[in-house]
Amino acid sequence: MGSVGNQRLALPLAFVRADTTDPSAHTRLLVRAAIAQCAPDDALVLDAGFSVALLPRGRGPRDVVRLAKNSTFRRASPPPYQGRDRPPTRGALVRPLGACLHINKWLLYSPLRH
């Protein structure tokens, strides 16, 4: 961060050349360059234009991705088979925020952690 008088300004640390043929490859390169510029105690903050899947595993809880309010996720492992019907193939649905059905009535989804 820099400043001019009392106004704070963000200063670019790196420039990444854009690939006009594949925009998703450019997004991956942007995330890699941002991670390379981060100090060990820095947090990487991304906007909704970036996916959670672009972040490498093993970086710990230092990454923040701002997503839409209606984002839904699934748990990694499916629930155990209950002995009838078709066995589950996908994990349970998880929503970080509750959904408002009517005024003052909230539909609460499973929490992020048990």
**pLDDT per residue of the chain (114 residues) written in tens, 0 to 9:** 667 888 888 778 788 887 778 877 888 888 888 888 888 788 888 887 787 778 777 666 677 777 777 777 788 889 899 999 999 899 888 776 655 555 555 555 445 554
Q: Are 28 and 43 in the same domain?
A: yes
What pLDDT, on a 0 to 100 scale, did the predictor assign at position 5?
Answer: 84
> Are 43 and 83 members of one domain?
no
Asked if 62 and 77 sit in the same domain, the reply is no
Taking alpha carbons only, the member of 29, 31, 59 closest to residue 47 is 31
Are residue 60 and residue 14 in the same domain, yes or no? Answer: yes
Q: Write the CB contacts of 101 (distance below 8 Å, at least 6 apart in sequence).
A: 107
How open is the CA angle 46-11-22, to the nearest 5 degrees? 50
Counted domains in the chain: 2
Within this chain, do residues 55 and 81 fall inside the same structural domain, yes or no? no
3 and 59 inside one domain? yes
* pLDDT at site 57: 73
Domain shared by 75 and 90, yes or no: yes
Range of the domain at 37: 1-67
| Pair 8, 35 in one domain | yes
Strands 73-74 and 93-94: antiparallel
Same domain membership, residue 57 and residue 3: yes
